[in-house]
Structure 1
Amino acid sequence: MKDTAPSLTSVKPAGRKFTGTDRRAPLRGGLQGCGEYGAGQTAGRFYPIACVALEVTQRCNLDCTLCYLSDRAEMTYDPPLSVLFARLATIHSHYGPGVSVQLTGGDPTLRKVEDLETLCREIKRLGMRSCLMTNGIRASRAFLIRLAAAGLDDVAFHVDMTQERKGFASEAELNTVRRAYIRRTRGLGLRVLFNTTVFGDNFDELPSLARFLRDRPEVAFVSFQMQADTGRGLLRERPDAITQDSVIRAIEAGYETPMHFDTASVGHSKCNRYASVVTAGGRAVSVLSAKQLTHKVMAALEQADESADGHIDIRDSVRRLVRRNPLLALRAGVHLLGRVLRLGSGLLRGPVRRQSVFIHNFMAADALEEDRCASCVFMVATANGPLSMCVHNAQRDQHLATPERIDGPTGPSWWNAAVPRLSGGPDLPDLNDPALAPLKRLKGQMRALRRTQKDAS
């Protein structure tokens, strides 16, 4: 795995612990510092962070050709619930209620369902949102029923050709898997998300995939994640043809409408691009086509904010906006109605749904940009607090091997992912030498190298 510049180890947007009266201020300051806090910026204005990943395991039942884990990550052990509860408490202390916590890994479904139920209940108790990030292989209908009953809010399925699922030779063929996953969620009250890695071998299929996702009224959120050399895997640098602009054009071709990705921002513009559409009956229109009006509404909602925990309650703010500025509220309502009516005959063929569309541009592990790290909206919970996802990916082995103190009813204990259980002291071994690890616990380039060495011998 590639090493990042030592200076970036001090870039800890995660370390932006809440100490004042406004939890949004640290993220807002980071975005202002790099010139990204414009009129359309939602981060730091409406919420203190977009989401925080809680990695419950490093194990995975796939070996993707692109992966953000390190080659040796699966040599480590799963953190016990005491560690995960401590990290949830830290997330809550930084960002308050309302933040989205992603139960992820590896694939979290490799943990016992009882562990995930316990985590969902704790996240709900703290007033935060829970999202299961999974490839779906083990996320059966029965599995999801149990988690929904325990308070799970969202489920995000990651499906694409980098996973090399047997029997599927294209993204179009993988739509069979996507349809099956959607069926598993019906009637459970879960918000459904889909993630797709955009890489050289599926870029030409992006318009047709976007069209498929557009036409799934059950899907509330779609994320296209551009190829990046973030960790392990056999694929490395991104092809020149894959840029934010080219991905936007491909998605708009699939949705068959301009989507106005430049109206509203979610963090740094080099990291994330965001669009919002309404769909019905195989048609879609952008909600954010009136840029100036959108910015005026955002400013008015911010002024109407009376929250004390860092997350604006949009419904309450809208009600106050209607009372304080009825003319602006009327203009916004008329605009929205006009956009819905542009769905035309689609209104006769299907329900009207809103869908969020994201383009994520993660940085390569050896090409981190300090301003983007300092204004990150996508964090990972670590032993030292939340940390920018891209920084964490670049330093994953270092963080996995960091001893973590857990204060329990019988006194302190220590956890280190390199050993299988809690211990009585912090002096624990680092990760084992990969050369000594069994082949089954290696993935990516390291696994391929070991196979080559084994064949040669």
Structure 2
Amino acid sequence: MKDTLPDPITIKPAGRRFQGSDQRAPLREGLRGCGEFGPSQTAGRFYPMACVALEVTQRCNLDCTLCYLSDRAEMTYDPPLSVLFARITTIRSHYGRGVSVQLTGGDPTLRKVDDLEALCREIKRLGMRSCLMTNGIRASRAMLTRLAAAGLDDVAFHVDMTQERNGFASEMELNRVRKAYIDRARGLGLRILFNTTVFGGNFAEIPALARFLRDQPEVGFVSFQMQADTGRGVLRARPDAITQDSVIRAVEQGYGTSLHFDSAAVGHSSCNRYSSVVSAGGKAVSLLSNQRLVQRVIAALEEVDTGQDAHIRIRPSVGRLIRRHPLLALWALGHLAGCLLRLGSGLLRGPVRRQAVFIHNFMAADALEEDRCASCVFMVATANGPLSMCVHNAQRDQHLAAPDRVDSPMGTYWWNAATRGLSARPNLPVLKDPEAAPLKRLKGQLRAARQSRKDAS
């Protein structure tokens, strides 16, 4: 059957659901259950979920030495738009307005631009935020222009040495790629993000990379993602030298200042560490240097706006905070002024910009921790509802093989990644065996093993 179902299409939500009308409850209770819902916590307090990945394809035009996709992932078919629209509806029903929906994969730019535009428009229509997660190879200026016009909010470029791009021997050489990507997105109204996998091959360069990213005024968000033993990549266990603390020290060395990653929390502290800085002219200053002030502001904001989507009404919330807590507002204003003054001569050399800095610690597939999974702020949309990213990566083939239920005025239909199109029955076909595929279609460990056998024969 061809994918001809009319819009709108709804899907019966599944997986972890909220109780009553408070969609923050599951995340809040998960964090509280593992002792992570303290006065610095923002997750489950101002929003029910930080972001949800919508995997629009399993195809990719790179073969990273660290890849969270499975051996069978690229043997599957892309989900039709009707399935993706249904998953977007499920995300909205779980988490309400304001959640970030990440168009990802694989690399989403391997889908038709028309498809990506339709997804951006639907996400915008439902009051959520969209982000294109891409390696940037096919994310041309023309494509980004079209997606921005369709409602895309953010573009996140993932660039690092695990991708083995031809002609680049170091992270610093890859800065040419990063600058080119910034130029593509500049002036389109998109927030620009950069993701970097931290692994043994680039760990020594993290300070220099952090310094480079600090000095790019167009970049609003940077993420350092620690190597995890999951997926099909040929690099496996993380080197002992790479820990949250060692990555924090390396990033702080690059920024040239303490970043106070413990002042504000975004989910479980073993998963995410967050900082916010202001920078100008090659200097950066942490906005979170006074933890007591940060906690007081969090408590005051929670008091003046108890809505579960308070994070998307920050300006009116700040206005009410100023009216109800003028002394606290003066304290915060004085702290901000002090931060700007500490930029010193940097104020004369460049524009003042704010930048969010994250360190993400993803779990190995064979070392999932129950409390961290139960308090995850980074989910994946699946056939059975949102699921923790680390759990999904550890069980990817199982979830790819699960059928999506799609309800429409024409009836109920099913889609499975192992088959093309929609079906009238929830069949459970087996994903294709990658051993039967030609060598050129294999990636990661399977390709390395097949090539090794071929060389030995």
Distance between the aligned counterparts of 2:56 and 2:41, measured in 1? 31
Q: Give 2:110's aligned residue.
A: 110
The residue type equivalent to 1:17 in the other structure is R
> Is the Cα contact below 8 Å between 2:262 and 2:273 reproduced in 1?
yes
The residue type equivalent to 1:271 in the other structure is C
TM-aligned CA deviation for residue 411 of structure 1? 1.6
Equivalences, count:
444
Give the alignment's TM-score, normalised by structure 1: 0.95
Q: Give 1:219's aligned residue.
A: 219
Q: Give 1:68's aligned residue.
A: 68
> Is the Cα contact below 8 Å between 2:46 and 2:308 reproduced in 1?
no
The residue type equivalent to 2:126 in the other structure is L
In the superposition, relative to structure 1, how do residues 312 and 144 fare at CA in structure 2: closer, same or farther (>3 Å)?
closer
Could you give the per-residue CA deviations for residues 60-98 of structure 1, whole angstroms, max 9, x where no partner exists?
000000011112110001000000000000000000010
Could you give the per-residue CA deviations for residues 100-136 of structure 1, whole angstroms, max 9, x where no partner exists?
0000000000000000000000000000000000000
Q: Give 2:42's aligned residue.
A: 42
Runs of 4+ in 1 over 4 A off after TM superposition: 308-312
> Is the Cα contact below 8 Å between 1:48 and 1:310 reproduced in 2?
no
Q: Give 2:369's aligned residue.
A: 369
Distance between the aligned counterparts of 1:310 and 1:28, measured in 2? 15
In the superposition, relative to structure 1, how do residues 308 and 294 fare at CA in structure 2: closer, same or farther (>3 Å)?
closer
Could you give the per-residue CA deviations for residues 286-312 of structure 1, whole angstroms, max 9, x where no partner exists?
000011011001100000114265656
Q: Give 1:282's aligned residue.
A: 282
The residue type equivalent to 1:318 in the other structure is V
The residue type equivalent to 1:147 in the other structure is L
TM-aligned CA deviation for residue 151 of structure 1? 0.4
> Is the Cα contact below 8 Å between 2:267 and 2:375 reproduced in 1?
yes
Ranges in structure 2 where 5+ consecutive residues have no aligned partner: 1-13
**Percent of aligned positions with the same letter in both sequences?**
79
Distance between the aligned counterparts of 1:239 and 1:139, measured in 2? 32
TM-aligned CA deviation for residue 403 of structure 1? 1.1
Is 1:446 the counterpart of 2:435? The answer is no
- Written as runs of structure 1 = structure 2, the 5 A alignment for 1:284-299 is 284-299=284-299
The residue type equivalent to 2:281 in the other structure is G
> Is the Cα contact below 8 Å between 1:300 and 1:321 reproduced in 2?
yes
Give the SS at the match of 1:359: strand
- Written as runs of structure 1 = structure 2, the 5 A alignment for 1:312-351 is 313-351=313-351
Give the SS at the match of 2:223: strand
| Most deviating of 131-140 and 408-417 | 408-417
Q: Give 2:181's aligned residue.
A: 181
- Written as runs of structure 1 = structure 2, the 5 A alignment for 1:126-141 is 126-141=126-141
Q: Give 1:89's aligned residue.
A: 89
Could you give the per-residue CA deviations for residues 5-37 of structure 1, whole angstroms, max 9, x where no partner exists?
xxxxxxxxx833134122112111000000001
The residue type equivalent to 2:325 in the other structure is N
Distance between the aligned counterparts of 2:335 and 2:21, measured in 1? 35
Is 1:233 the counterpart of 2:233? The answer is yes
TM-aligned CA deviation for residue 45 of structure 1? 0.9
Give the SS at the match of 1:195: strand
Distance between the aligned counterparts of 1:308 and 1:190, measured in 2? 25
Question: What is the CA RMSD across the aligned residues, in angstroms?
Answer: 1.2
Is 1:196 the counterpart of 2:200? The answer is no
Q: Give 1:4's aligned residue.
A: none
Q: Give 1:10's aligned residue.
A: none
Q: Give 1:28's aligned residue.
A: 28
Distance between the aligned counterparts of 2:308 and 2:197, measured in 1? 37
TM-aligned CA deviation for residue 316 of structure 1? 1.6
> Is the Cα contact below 8 Å between 2:281 and 2:346 reproduced in 1?
yes
Distance between the aligned counterparts of 2:280 and 2:311, measured in 1? 30
Ranges in structure 1 where 5+ consecutive residues have no aligned partner: 1-13
Q: Give 1:387's aligned residue.
A: 387
Q: Give 2:9's aligned residue.
A: none
> Is the Cα contact below 8 Å between 1:103 and 1:132 reproduced in 2?
yes
Q: Give 1:256's aligned residue.
A: 256
TM-aligned CA deviation for residue 369 of structure 1? 0.3
Distance between the aligned counterparts of 2:298 and 2:58, measured in 1? 39
Give the SS at the match of 1:257: coil
Could you give the per-residue CA deviations for residues 258-304 of structure 1, whole angstroms, max 9, x where no partner exists?
11011011100000101110000110000000110110011000001
In the superposition, relative to structure 1, how do residues 322 and 143 fare at CA in structure 2: closer, same or farther (>3 Å)?
same
Q: Give 1:53's aligned residue.
A: 53
Is 1:98 the counterpart of 2:74? The answer is no
In the superposition, relative to structure 1, how do residues 383 and 310 fare at CA in structure 2: closer, same or farther (>3 Å)?
farther
The residue type equivalent to 1:198 in the other structure is V
Distance between the aligned counterparts of 1:199 and 1:398, measured in 2? 27
> Is the Cα contact below 8 Å between 1:52 and 1:100 reproduced in 2?
yes
Give the alignment's TM-score, normalised by structure 2: 0.95
Give the SS at the match of 1:365: coil
Distance between the aligned counterparts of 2:370 and 2:335, measured in 1? 39
Distance between the aligned counterparts of 1:94 and 1:74, measured in 2? 29
> Is the Cα contact below 8 Å between 1:260 and 1:286 reproduced in 2?
yes
Could you give the per-residue CA deviations for residues 207-247 of structure 1, whole angstroms, max 9, x where no partner exists?
00000000000000000000111211110001111011110
Distance between the aligned counterparts of 2:16 and 2:407, measured in 1? 23
The residue type equivalent to 2:453 in the other structure is Q
Give the SS at the match of 1:275: strand
Distance between the aligned counterparts of 2:15 and 2:325, measured in 1? 38
The residue type equivalent to 2:454 in the other structure is K
Q: Give 1:8's aligned residue.
A: none
TM-aligned CA deviation for residue 455 of structure 1? 3.7
Q: Give 1:209's aligned residue.
A: 209
The residue type equivalent to 2:421 in the other structure is R
Distance between the aligned counterparts of 1:20 and 1:443, measured in 2? 45
The residue type equivalent to 2:250 in the other structure is A
> Is the Cα contact below 8 Å between 1:214 and 1:282 reproduced in 2?
yes
Distance between the aligned counterparts of 2:230 and 2:359, measured in 1? 16
